[in-house]
């Protein structure tokens, strides 16, 4: 008789278990070894407190910026190089890694998913916003459901059962809204929210752990929309923490019942701002 072994702290099963509505997984996204080491330093055993960082996530926008590229121009190869640099360090720290692979790079989906699983990723962020030059702005609902199922199948075939799929929905994003500008629903927030709910439920039915709803840096996802989506998705909602002055805090989002909170490239941008301010002071004769 076999004895059930609990999932290791680097496994997909463990990563999935961290997604608890009302007690969300909080991910301070990283982009290179320096940012990873900085975030991991929060788990220093000398503090005596439980390690606050439970998992690590990459941010493709920030990775692209370090290479002088726009997010849409980050190639699969460049993204994989960075993921392969980071994954062993994350595993050595005893944490699971989830990676941002955009829309899984079009018809290269099987190859990309197999590669990130091979590198050591336990989950991925996969969006329904098509890559550049691929026709419609969004994958159709039917196409994306099939693609998400394929992600999970390929991950399992490559040895990663319970792969954590954070299915991003871009219906509210600037690119999607701009493409629909001539449509009757382009500026109808209620109609757009209904489409987010329709897609999100289908993504969850396809096997996604959570649905990440992205509204763009300026718009975001409004408070009442978060409440609606938490209710409609049974709490299986992922959101990006905003840095706006009136934005909801992690604690407030937890109280609303979300299961996952990330920051995308916000830490990268905050670091750049700090460098600019310090550099400005010293070149003008001031102090660090």
Q: What is the pLDDT of residues 113-139, one digit of tens each?
A: 999 999 999 999 999 999 765 557 999
- The more confidently predicted of residues 134 and 52 is 52
Confidence (pTM): 0.92
Mean pLDDT, range 21-36, rounded to an integer: 98
Task: Assign a CATH topology to domain 12-43+50-279.
Answer: TIM Barrel (3.20.20)
Distance CA 105, CA 176 (A): 18
pLDDT at 106: 95
CA gyration radius for the chain?
19
> Among candidates 287, 286, 260, which has minimal Cα distance to 28?
260
Helix locations, the chain, DSSP H: 12-17, 33-40, 60-66, 76-92, 109-119, 141-157, 174-179, 189-205, 223-232, 250-256, 266-283
- The pLDDT tens digits of the residues spanning 258-288 come to 999 999 999 999 999 999 999 999 999 999 9
């Amino acid at each position: 008789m076999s004895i059930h072994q609990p999932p290791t702290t680097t496994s997909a099963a463990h990563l999935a278990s961290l997604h608890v509505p009302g007690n969300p997984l909080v991910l301070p996204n990283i982009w290179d070894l320096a940012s990873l080491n900085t975030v991991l330093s929060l788990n220093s055993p000398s503090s005596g407190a439980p390690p606050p960082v439970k998992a690590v996530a990459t941010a493709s926008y920030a990775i692209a910026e370090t290479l002088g590229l726009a997010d849409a121009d980050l190639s699969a190869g460049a993204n994989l190089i960075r993921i392969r640099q980071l994954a062993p360090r994350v595993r050595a720290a005893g944490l699971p890694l989830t990676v941002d692979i955009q829309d899984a790079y079009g018809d290269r989906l099987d190859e990309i998913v197999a590669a990130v699983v091979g590198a050591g990723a336990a989950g991925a962020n996969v969006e329904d916003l098509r890559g550049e030059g691929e026709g419609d702005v969004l994958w159709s609902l039917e196409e994306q459901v099939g693609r998400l199922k394929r992600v999970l199948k390929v991950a399992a075939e490559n040895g990663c059962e319970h792969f954590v799929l954070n299915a991003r929905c871009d219906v509210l994003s600037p690119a999607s809204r701009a493409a629909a500008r001539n449509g009757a629903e382009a500026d109808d927030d209620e109609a757009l929210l209904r489409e987010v709910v329709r897609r999100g439920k289908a993504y969850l039915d396809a096997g996604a752990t959570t649905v990440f709803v992205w509204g763009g840096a300026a718009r975001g996802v409004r408070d009442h929309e978060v409440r609606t989506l938490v209710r409609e998705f049974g709490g299986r909602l992922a959101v990006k923490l905003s840095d706006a002055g009136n934005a909801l805090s992690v604690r407030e989002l937890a109280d609303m019942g979300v299961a996952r909170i990330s920051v995308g490239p916000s830490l990268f941008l905050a670091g750049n701002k700090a460098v600019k301010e310090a550099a400005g002071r010293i070149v003008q004769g001031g102090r660090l």
